[in-house]
Amino acid sequence: MTLDLNADAGESYGVWSLGHDAALFGLLTSVNLACGFHAGDPLTIERSVKLAHRHGLAVGAHPGFPDRVGFGRRDLAAAPEEVYADVLYQIGAVSAFLRAAGLPLHHVKAHGALYNRAARDLETARAIAQAVRDFDLALPLVVLPGTPLEAGALEAGLRAVAEAFPERGYTRDGRLAARGQPGAVVHDPHEAARRAVAMALHGRVEAVDGGWVEMRPQTLCVHGDNPNAVQIARAVREALEAEGVRLVAF
């Protein structure tokens, strides 16, 4: 089987540095670049695109709420028309740097609170999907499967790419556990690798509140701001390849 391994990255801003993109990118097959709203800035986007190109990665836009102070993880009271315009604006920003580098935009994946809101609210999901559709109907939208985010993508005629998170906890309803909840974030690379294999080969993972969450992911995500992101990505990659999984961009 084949599987994509992605990371949310390019999340530095000005002199403030976050993550270890230079070490992380060589372990991935695709990357989601911050677009300047929750993190990132024009120079960071440009540098991240060049780094991704050197490593042969497929590059996606990672739009979020305009909330640098909260790193895009605070739910903002944005109306659907605002979400649409903000997402379209951010896709355009990353696409401009890719075009200058002679590279295509590969996909779109919402960030943080925007992703989570779209996973429970169909109107937000529709706004995101419409922005992607209006930019390029051929662009895949990365989604949390079984949620309004997936439904909105399919309703808009987009390809919905199912994502799973080996270093994030799930609740029984298939959603990501709130970050303050015990077990919501996995820092142990070996545990993340074990979960990645369970997700990829067995189609399920334990929920933090008991039971199992069923899934059939096409891409696995490692958060670039996890302090152990590089070690986690390496452990996940090695564990999957040991099981015969071929890692390629979706």
Please give the domain boundaries of the chain with CATH numbers for all domains. 2-247 (3.20.20.370)
Task: Spell out the residues 6+ positions from residue 191 whose beta carbon is closer than 8 angstroms to its own.
Answer: none
In which band, very low, low, confident or very high, does the pLDDT at 121 lie, cut at 50, 70 and 90? very high
pLDDT at 180: 84
pLDDT score at 15: 87
Share of the chain above pLDDT 90, in %: 93
| pLDDT of 185 | 94
Residue 116 pLDDT > 90, yes or no?
A: yes
What SS3 state is found at 202?
helix
Angle, vertex CA 43, rays to CA 26 and CA 36, nearest 5: 90
Per-residue pLDDT at 183: 87
Confidence (pLDDT) at 249: 98
Residue 98 is predicted with a pLDDT of 98
Residue of 150, 136, 167 whose CA lies nearest to 5: 167
Dihedral angle of Cα 19, 179, 130, 149, to the nearest 10 degrees: 130
Q: Hey, which residues does 206 pair with through a beta bridge?
A: 212
* Tokens representing residue 3 in the block: 């599987």
| Better-predicted residue by pLDDT, 162 or 175 | 162
Question: What mean pLDDT, rounded, does the chain reach?
Answer: 96
